[in-house]
Every structure is written in structure tokens, then in C-alpha cells.
């Protein structure tokens, strides 16, 4: 397995170097393959590891089954975000997004297919891309991050078609309202902004920190995570994790967690969240904490639900963050095992 190591390093020193890398590793992003049988994880060293979920979940699984089938150097800096199309793995780092063919990755041919850089205001600007979002109906990709803009890229031509401006500080997260061509963005400025993709206009702004019941000034105003389900949105970060009714811009449920949350998602009749601390939280929509399931990392940055219909045997929740491990939950009640870089 190839890893990024200094040239001409003696074997013993290389093992020490790799052990130190793992000790200080952060996994920022995850993405499930189109077939549902593999999981990509991107770390702070610019590496992407591909794990075989089907092998790790097999009744004949060994410890080696929980290691990557391939690891490759994708970016010079951290891999902040990843998404998968029906053929490609798209990864984002500092200033650019790259595409890799899943079919080639699984043959261990990890050569980038293409790379694109949004049109930044100056050639010296290399802002991080914190979030990627697929818009399937228009075959486009939305990128957002350190330059405070949302950039839309046509996946067929590779051209950047529009830039949505409104945030006054960098953007952390994106979510798609699937029933309408609208996208939500949350950022360091403390605002959640709703954009109409037909008109490229901002149509709604919720400044979460200005609502007394949500505000937590000691944590800051930043929005680190959001998710949407029709007329509902859940978001958190510095302010409390809160469920909102979008049409009325009304907070309806404040979830009683002190720790800032870094990832949130709707799942069936629950909300799943994670952030500072090692637990995945399961919330009732009413605000009641149904369960806290501990993982192996001291802090969590990403959750991934594998719901690919092609691989029902690999239907799992995975959680990753401030360690070299990806925790695998075969049901929501407990951590079954961990994958490891």
C-alpha cells in the first residue's frame, strides 16, 4: 500500500513516521461508492483510503479486512469534503476539486481524471473548499468554503456557471432541498442562507445567533452543520443545535447538548448529530435524547449513512473525526467495529 513518506527513509524510521501520522490524524470526509460496498475516507494529510465494507462486514472478516484496500495521495493539503456520483469520486482540498473514477480506484489505479479550480477573485487566493453538494436534477456540483461564495459547476462540461454571494465569512456546510431547486448554506458569519438555484438569488436568511433561545455567545456564532427535510431544517455549531420551520423562520426545538455539533442528518423519525465528544447523538424531533452511542474518536467531524439500494447488506452508519479510525455502526445502538488507516 502506497503512502506519502519522505524519500530514502530507513524502514524503522518509516514505521515511526507512519505511527506518528496515525497518532495525529484527522478524518474530515467520507463518501460511499456507487455500488455501496466501499467507503472512501479523506484525512488531514491529503490521503484518501478506500475500505471494503463488504469484506469488513463479512462473517469471515479478519483484522486485515478493516484496513484500506488502497490508500493514495489525493491532495497536498487536507481532504475537506467528498461526494460520489454514479461513476466518480469527487474530492476537495485547498482551492480545487478533483475527480477520480471509482472503477479505476478499485483496480488500484488512482490517477486523477480531472481537476477544477473555481474562479477566485485573485490568482493568489487559495481558499479551502469545505463543502461539496451534488444537484442531480441539473447534473451540477456546488462548492463552498473560504472565499465566502457558492460556486456552481456543470459536471458535463466542467464549466463554472455561477457564483452566489452573500456570506461575509467562510462557509462550512451545504444542504439541498430536494423538492425545490434550493440550497442552504451555513457559515462562520452565523447565518443560514437559502438560495434559489433558478434565479441564483438569496431568498431567505436566518441569523441563528440573534435568536435568544439558540444563542451561546461563549461558543461563537458560526454554523458548522445543517440538514434539511422538506420544510424543516436542523443546524448547529456555536449556537445550539436547533430544528427550524423554514417557511416561518421559526425555531421549534432546541436540542439540549452543550457541545458544538459538527455534523447533523435526518434519519427516519430521528435526527443524528455529532461533534465535540466521542458520541453519536440520536434525537427525537421533540428534543428528547433517545440515545448517545460512544465511538472511538475524541471528536467527530463526519457521519455517513450508507443507504445504497444495491448493497443492503452494507447498510451502516459510519462516524469519523479526530483519529485514524472510522467507527462502523451496524445498527444505531452500538459500535460494531472500527476501520483504520
Q: Is the pLDDT of residue 2 over 50?
A: no
Tens-digit pLDDT profile for residues 314-326 = 999 999 999 999 9
Gap between the Cα atoms of 320 and 311, Å rounded: 21
- Average predicted confidence (pLDDT) for the chain: 94
Partners of 30 in the β-ladder? 41
Q: Residue 11 — pLDDT band, cuts 50, 70, 90? A: low
What average pLDDT does the segment 141-169 reach? 96
Per-residue pLDDT for 18 more than 90?
A: no
Residue 54, Cβ density class (10 Å: 0-12 exposed, 13-18 middle, ≥19 buried) = middle
CA distance linking residue 249 with residue 244, whole number of Å: 7
Distance CA 77, CA 98 (A): 13
What's the pLDDT tens digit per position in 294-304?
A: 999 999 999 99
Amino acid at each position: 500500500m502506497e503512502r506519502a513518506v519522505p524519500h530514502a527513509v530507513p524502514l524503522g524510521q518509516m514505521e515511526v513516521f507512519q505511527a506518528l501520522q496515525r497518532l495525529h490524524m484527522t478524518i474530515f470526509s467520507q463518501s460511499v461508492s456507487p455500488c455501496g460496498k466501499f467507503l472512501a475516507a479523506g484525512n488531514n494529510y491529503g490521503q484518501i483510503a478506500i475500505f471494503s465494507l463488504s469484506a469488513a462486514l463479512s462473517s469471515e472478516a479478519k483484522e486485515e479486512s478493516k484496513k484500506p484496500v488502497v490508500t493514495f495521495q489525493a491532495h497536498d493539503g487536507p481532504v475537506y469534503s467528498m461526494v460520489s456520483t454514479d461513476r466518480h469520486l469527487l474530492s476537495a482540498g485547498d482551492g480545487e476539486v478533483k475527480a477520480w473514477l471509482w472503477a479505476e480506484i478499485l483496480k488500484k489505479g488512482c490517477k486523477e481524471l480531472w481537476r477544477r479550480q473555481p474562479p477566485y477573485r485573485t490568482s493568489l487566493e487559495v481558499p479551502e473548499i469545505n463543502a461539496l453538494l451534488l444537484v442531480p436534477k441539473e447534473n451540477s456540483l456546488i462548492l463552498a468554503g473560504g472565499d465566502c461564495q457558492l460556486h456552481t459547476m456543470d459536471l458535463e462540461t466542467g464549466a463554472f456557471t455561477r457564483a452566489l454571494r452573500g456570506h461575509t465569512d467562510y462557509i462550512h456546510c451545504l444542504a439541498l432541498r430536494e423538492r425545490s431547486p434550493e440550497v442552504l448554506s451555513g457559515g462562520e458569519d452565523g447565518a443560514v442562507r437559502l438560495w434559489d438555484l433558478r434565479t441564483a438569488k438569496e431568498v431567505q436568511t436566518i441569523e441563528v445567533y440573534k435568536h435568544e433561545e439558540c444563542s451561546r455567545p461563549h461558543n461563537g456564532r458560526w454554523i458548522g452543520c445543517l440538514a434539511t427535510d422538506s420544510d424543516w431544517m436542523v443546524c448547529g455549531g456555536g449556537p445550539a443545535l436547533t430544528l427550524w420551520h423554514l417557511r416561518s423562520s421559526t425555531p421549534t426545538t432546541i436540542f439540549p447538548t452543550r457541545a458544538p455539533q459538527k455534523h447533523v442528518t435526518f434519519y427516519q423519525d430521528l435526527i443524528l448529530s455529532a461533534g465535540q465528544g466521542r458520541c453519536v447523538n440520536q434525537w427525537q424531533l421533540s428534543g428528547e435524547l433517545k440515545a448517545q452511542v460512544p465511538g472511538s474518536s475524541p471528536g467527530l467531524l463526519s457521519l455517513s449513512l450508507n443507504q445504497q439500494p444495491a448493497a443492503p447488506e452494507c447498510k451502516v452508519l459510519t462516524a469519523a473525526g479526530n483519529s485514524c479510525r472510522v467507527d462502523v455502526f451496524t445498527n444505531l445502538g452500538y459500535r460494531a467495529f472500527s476501520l483504520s488507516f
